[in-house]
Copies of this chain bind each other. A is one copy, B any other.
């Protein structure tokens, strides 16, 4: 039985520690987006969903911290609609910061909608 993360690194990975931490950070941001996009949201449950995304992310390997904000885009605006204040979570609504650490190397990544790109970008803010 493989007993620790170092043994897993030796057997399965072929990269340095900085590349490993970048890889792990990418996994967490990709997971977070594709797991929760589509979830039903309204103004009244944004906070509970933010906390759930943070806690499920923080329990994954190497994650030090996750902070999630959901922007209420598309909510509260359709005041004359029967579906007022209800939509499903889209990538544009998410602003997530995730910090990971592996063997002393830290990396910080973010997912957020960037206006000049008209796109929810996942990027590596800092490493090392």
Contacts and interface: CB of A to CB of B under 8 A. Distances in A.
Contacts of A61: 83, 86
B51 A48 contact: yes
Contacts of A109: 23
B34 A30 contact: yes
A37 B40 contact: no
Contacts of A36: 35, 39
A48 B55 contact: yes
Contacts of A26: 22-30
Given A31-B30, A88-B37, A81 B1 contact: yes
A122 interface: yes
A112 to B, nearest CB: 10
